[in-house]
Amino acid sequence: MTDTPTAKPGKVRVRAEDLRTFSAALLEKGGLSPEDAATTADVFVWAALRGVDSHGIARVPAYLELLAKGVANARAEMRVESTTPAAAVLDADRAPGPVALVAAADEAVSRARTNGIASVGVRGTVHTGAIGYYVSKIAEQGLVGLGFVAGMPNMGYTGVKGAAVATSPLAIAVPTASSSGHPPLLLDMATATVALGKIRQARASGTPLPEGAAATEDGTPTTDPEKAVMPLPLGGAKGSGMSLAFELLTSVLVGAPIFAAFHSDDPQGRTHRQNALLIAVDPAAFGGAEGFTAAVDATLSTLKGLPVADGADGVYYPGERSAAVAVERAERGIPVAPKVWRELTENAEKFGLVPPTPTS
């Protein structure tokens, strides 16, 4: 889910802090409160720093559109519902995903500190963004973070003609000892072979898609980005089965089914929305946090010490390479594609804002 540290021709580099401030200003002009705008911008910049450009700064214009159309609620009145100490549901009231899931992550950490483990479901949010961000925030507190998201069907399902399930992601973050030098383990993946954003990027650049990655509207596999409208599930039946399971673990669990409503005759069933489930686990409840992180570090060191296969440039664990990209981009600036930069500057002009000066 990362790209190479080298900026492609035509891209400009902008300091991360400048992009964060600029994005927050745009989102505030789009209707979000200063706090919610800053939270949302931070999620986008985090993704961009780690090379997940499909969920990075490119999302700002899309969120402005969601806010302008009223799909996202700029003044959502979120509320937490709970009948047991270790579980809760956050009703997002169509708040942007970053706003709702940051609140859910904080709630999960707080409850897990007391109960050892806690789960918080998120009902009725709008586009969650990079789910790895939220589990990483949990891991920063020394807890294990797990996250699942279910959204609108936009991916094939084995044996079904056309789009059936969502490219529902999962993410797991495991903390390491701060003295180890190991970045936290971060597994952040979709149940699709490629993200929908990757198909759009391939279409824009005219780059063929990998075999078995995408399909036409009727589900026929294609490598032509002009014909591709949806991704295919990762591992065939495995990916589509995971997506269906995540719908049950999120949407159905919080009383807001998406899949069944989408495929019904109810026109409201196709109204854009997403649901999520975040889980925080406190290692202290399982025998001690220090012993846990020491064993995590030993496990990662053991992995990295295994013989390197012929042709491989090293042995890496999930999240390690994207953490290295984040270090490089923090130093040199985040590369922004020409189309994205043009959209950002056009919005800035509309709102009377001054874009940051690129570093290159």
* Amino acid, single-letter form, for residue 285: A
Listed residue (88, 29, 133, 45) closest to 330, CA to CA: 45
Question: Dihedrals φ, ψ of 255, to 5°?
Answer: 75, 30
| E strand or H helix at 302 | helix 289-304
Strands laid side by side in the 221-222 sheet? 221-222, 214-215, 230-231
What is 3-66 written as a DSSP string?
--SSPPTT-EEE-HHHHHHHHHHHHHHTT--HHHHHHHHHHHHHHHHTT-GGGTTTHHHHHHHH
Give residue 178's pLDDT: 81
Listed residue (137, 167, 35) closest to 96, CA to CA: 35
Return the structure tokens found at 222. Answer: 């294609």
Give residue 3's pLDDT: 43
Question: Dihedrals φ, ψ of 166, to 5°?
Answer: -95, 160
Q: For the chain, how are helix, strand and coil distributed in percent, rounded to 5?
A: 40, 20, 40
Listed residue (128, 134, 174) closest to 149, CA to CA: 128
Give residue 8's pLDDT: 54
Rounded distance between C-alpha atoms, residue 243 and residue 206, angstroms: 29
pLDDT digits (tens, 9 = 90+) for 234-277: 999 999 999 999 999 999 999 999 999 999 999 889 999 999 99
Give residue 9's pLDDT: 56
Question: Dihedrals φ, ψ of 227, to 5°?
Answer: -95, -25
Question: Dihedrals φ, ψ of 156, to 5°?
Answer: -70, 160
What is 68-135 written as a DSSP string?
HTTSS-TT---EEEEEETTEEEEE-TT-BHHHHHHHHHHHHHHHHHHHSEEEEEEEEEB----THHHH
Give residue 317's pLDDT: 98
Residue reference for tokens 């290159």: 360
Decide: 176 and 203 in contact? Cβ < 8 Å. Answer: no
Return the structure tokens found at 8. Answer: 């492609």
Ranges in the chain, pLDDT < 70: 1-9
Give residue 2's pLDDT: 42
